[in-house]
Amino acid sequence: MNEQIKIKDVTPVKIHKPAETATYPARSRIYVRAVEGMLENIRRFFGLIFLSIFAVIPWLQYNGNQAVLFDFGEQRFNIFGMTLWPQDLTILAYVLIVAAFALFFITTFAGRVWCGFMCPQTTWTFLYIWFEEKIEGSRNKRMKLDERKMDVDKFTRKTLKHFSWITVALLTSMTFVGYFSPIDALFTDFFTFGVSFWAGFFIIFFAVCTYANAGYMREIMCTHMCPYARFQSAMFDKDTFTVAYDPSRGEQRGPRSRKVTPEQLQEKGLGDCIDCNLCVQVCPTGIDIRNGLQYECINCGACVDACNGVMDKMGYPKGLISFTSEHQLAGGKTKIVRPKLIGYAVVLLIMTSLLVYDIYSRQPLEIDIIKDRISLYRETNQGLIENVYTLKLLNKSQNDRIFKISISGIEGAKYVGETEVKVGGGEIYTLPMSVVTGPYSLTEEITDFTFHVETQDENGDIIKIQETSRFIFTDV
């Protein structure tokens, strides 16, 4: 009982944690420093690709029409050769589900790379920062410019910057509205003041949103308004690749000369981090990655490129800040294949297969049969029984089609009306018609029969659909 129990101090070392305050501190403006490196080039590449796709798609033509047009007024979405109607809501549901599980899969594997490399907020924010750098100068010059009193040079630069921002915001909003309204007429009408009220309203609305989000709010959108930053931790595990700092290699941090030898560093107890703060200066959300994983981090990799550049200059190995996992930082090995990742991949594959099947099996035509409710039936001058119907023929394709209509199921029944009609692409054709038959051929008050509609596709293949309706005669 007299033996002393050895106690190990496990108190974590504080690594320049921010000071705790009772209230949230006022937001200070973040001056993002320019950075060069492999990840920055990848981010610019993805940003340019997706920005180009966004700008070009509304201008594409297909069969003489706008290739992609989400026409809410006509309740139809034209996507190249396919027209989606409210009846095709399952396709939209599958698309959203596939997108969600793709995001979950990527996040589990590589963290918030969507936020850092492909998110529109990030893309437009860096685009606005690029205009800032070209017009107002580098980070230090921008800080000094804002500290100066207003003069001719400052007024000129600020005016040119905001004019560039407004121009980008206006072009962005007009392109976005062009997905929902014919874009060629939209641009012409807007600049000639002939645009409709709602189109003009949404152009101004989205321009203001783009200007405010990318120009002023920036990191606030990522840290306070985007829900993805809050629930991302549910998809992370110890094998998720995220931007992280290696404290075992970097601490204790401190400035030093390039001539300092490794032995001298060891004597002083210094790690590889020279505490230059470049990782903080290049961060678009203004965080210090050395404080550990934080929900504000969008995994853009800017701090990785900045730190690797410093390590090169100092002659140290790269990777002090890198895309790594918690297991790897602890000296273990990252497990790429794991149950959570497999589960997301399986669900993603299943939902993608259902989406492809739904699109492949989708019929390019649809019929809706409406029975006349005013008069259930009537007797003609020839003693025949007549039921009146209204057929709605929906041509889901974007090409004109000829539909042939016939009936079956009632012996001796005759179809009275047009048996062949031409329906324009993406149009609904309303066809009034009736079915007549002799009273002695009916053995029940309600007799089921079938409407048949057939047409040909672009390849000459016959497409047939059928719909059941009811013939009513109560004096059987």
Residue 17 tokens, joined: 């944690």
Instruction: Tell me if residue 68 falls in helix, strand or coil.
Output: strand
* d(C-alpha 76, C-alpha 396), whole Å: 9
Residue 24 tokens, joined: 């949230």
Among 287, 285, 327, 283, smallest CA distance to 305 is for 283
Strand ranges for 159-309 from DSSP E: 242-245
Residue type, position 307, single letter: C
pLDDT single digits (tens) 308-349: 999 999 989 999 999 999 999 888 898 989 999 999 999 999
Among 335, 319, 250, 261, smallest CA distance to 291 is for 250
Among 115, 444, 78, 138, smallest CA distance to 278 is for 138
* d(C-alpha 407, C-alpha 260), whole Å: 94
Burial (Cβ within 10 Å: 0-12, 13-18, ≥19) of residue 50? middle
Q: How many CA atoms lie within 13 A of 353 on its CB side?
A: 6
For 446, the enclosing helix (H) or strand (E) is: strand 446-456
Bridge partners, 393 (sequence order): 367, 429
Residue 144 tokens, joined: 């000094």
pLDDT single digits (tens) 188-217: 999 898 999 999 999 999 999 999 999 999
Helical axes 89-110 vs 339-360, angle rounded to 10°: 160
Contacts 24+ apart (CB under 8 A), 319-323: 319/246, 320/245, 320/246, 320/249, 320/250, 320/272, 320/273, 321/243, 321/244, 321/245, 321/246, 321/279, 321/289, 322/243, 322/244, 322/246, 323/110, 323/111, 323/241, 323/242, 323/243, 323/244, 323/299
pLDDT single digits (tens) 1-52: 456 665 555 454 444 444 454 444 556 788 999 999 999 999 999 999 999 9
Residue 318, pLDDT score? 92
pLDDT single digits (tens) 412-467: 899 999 999 999 877 889 999 999 999 888 888 999 999 999 988 777 788 888 99
Q: Which domains does the chain have, with CATH numbers?
A: 27-362 (no CATH), 365-472 (2.60.40.10)
Average per-residue pLDDT for the chain:
88
Classify each residue of 171-186 as buried b or exposed e, where b means 16 or more C-beta atoms within 10 Å of its C-beta. Answer: ebbbbbbbbbbbbeeb
Q: pTM to 2 decimals? A: 0.80
Is the C-alpha dihedral spanning 249, 254, 258, 263 positive or negative?
Answer: negative
Please determine, for residue 398, whether its predicted confidence score (pLDDT) is greater than 80: no
Quick one: what percent of the chain has pLDDT higher than 70? 94
